[in-house]
Chains A and B, each alone.
Chain A
Amino acid sequence: MCTCRRKSPWLFHMNSGSCNGCDIELIAALSPRYDAEQLGVRLEGSPRHADILCVTGPVTAKAVGAVKTVYDQIPEPKAVIAIGSCPATTNVFIDSRTLDGPLEKHIPVDVFVPGCPPRPDAIIQGVAKAAAILAERAGHAKPASDHPVVIGDASGEPCFRCASEGQQ
């Protein structure tokens, strides 16, 4: 079962007010050049079928309800990937009055893929990490770990805040 979970991550892509940059990169990860289907990745149309929720965008105030609903619709076990710097820190939109970010305020995040936008290979690495986390959960609904994984974090410290400070 663990092997099967690791080898069959189905994604649901959710845009919470993104500029489309990360969305394009996520699709590029599935394109012939990067071909994430080799890892068993499938982009699903319905959150009911998905294992991993991929959120892009800084979570606008209007998107909060949708993000929470979609998160609840994904059946357990599930994982969340925050793609790009926006869902992690709200990026350049910080302190905007139309935002209610970052994403971690609303749902537990397992993997951060920083970048504006991140490269498709980083996204694929993030998906592989999230799939490994899913396999570890082994059917028990557990809250996301306190220290989410940050892709491309050279320091080896799995804490997102340190990593984002290191980037700036």
Chain B
Amino acid sequence: MNLDSTLLTALARLLVFPGLLFAIPAAWFFLWVERKAVALMQGRIGPPFMQPFYDFVKLMGKETPHRPGAAGVLMRLWPLLAMASAAGAVGLLPVLPAQGGFQGDLILLLALLEVPSMCIIAAGFSSRSIFGEIGSAREAILSVSYNVVFLLAIVSIAAAQNTFSLATLATLPHTPLRWLGVVALLVCLPAKLHLNPFSLPNAEQEIYAGPMTEYVGVELAMWELSHGLEWIAATGLIATLIVPSISTWWLAALVFVGIIFGIVLLLSVVASATARLAIDSSVRFYWQCTLIFAGLAAVIAIAAPVIARLKP
């Protein structure tokens, strides 16, 4: 495979599928699914299908106040950075059977998934609003607790199958350990996506809008979009881990979208059925209840090959 076609495939992945051209409408669609599922759970009808799109366009047309100095530049920068990295993470997902292109590996994907959360922390502090700072502090504490479990789960999956390449992982057969890892990842998702019961950072009504309190118009639209893309990247990561490898490209894409839909529905139902936990309970949940299992999985994953090698 020569360089040109590799580059072309990489660009196609980043810009078309599962990249921007697919990901932005999909982000709106899944934001709508989330709101609709919550509404149905509460016995309401919920927003119309195009709602996230209307919200986005409306926010693009709002006036943005002039903020002088570095703080103003930073407040423009954080949402863009979050949006770009979430889009990059979506572009890395090996949905289609790999034929060249940029073979993104797991570590890069994890790093890109982490950037929006970092941006949110920085955004709250650079907005200099007291509510933003509280929200950022909560996001920082929460990300320290769920990321340990999240990373341990990923490490155990990767170590068990001896590869850090996502494309290879997607094609390898599923072991019980991988399912354990997927469950651990699922437990971390509500915290990563700021959903109930771990919706502490953006705790609506409680600390106004958390880190986003001071963000207006275009910046807010970018935050909404990056949140939608995060949804796709995070649920897409799980979808790639559980989808069996399919060689027909349209079937692979269809199954991928279907599984994301299922996970979004599941998370929305959990979010509407639960109340927000306090920060200490959330941290305790991740450090005490979940960490043991994730740690156990990682130990098994690393120890199993060693034990197998010791056997004559």
Contacts and interface: CB of A to CB of B under 8 A. Distances in A.
Interface of A: 1, 3-5, 7-8, 10, 32, 35, 37-38, 40, 42, 44-46, 48-49, 51, 75-77, 139, 141
Contacts of B48: 7, 38, 40
15 contacts: A1-B61, A4-B55, A4-B57, A7-B51, A8-B51, A35-B45, A37-B44, A37-B45, A37-B46, A38-B45, A40-B55, A45-B207, A48-B216, A75-B216, A76-B62
A32 B54 contact: no
A48 B221 CA distance: 12
A46 B7 CA distance: 44
- Looking at chain A's contact residues, the main secondary structure is loop
A32 B42 contact: yes
Interface residues of B, number: 34
Interface of B: 35, 39, 42-48, 50-51, 53-55, 57-58, 61-65, 131, 204-205, 207-209, 212-217, 220
A5 B61 CA distance: 9
A75 B64 contact: yes
Q: Which of A5, A7, A38, A49 has the most CB of B within 10 A?
A: A49
A10 B47 CA distance: 13
Nearest to B223: A49
B46 A38 contact: yes
A7 B46 CA distance: 13
A3 B57 CA distance: 10
A94 to B, nearest CB: 32
Contacts of A10: 55
Nearest to B55: A8
A4 B45 contact: no
A37 B213 CA distance: 21
Nearest to A135: B58
B54 A75 contact: no
Given A35-B39, A46-B208, A1 B213 contact: no
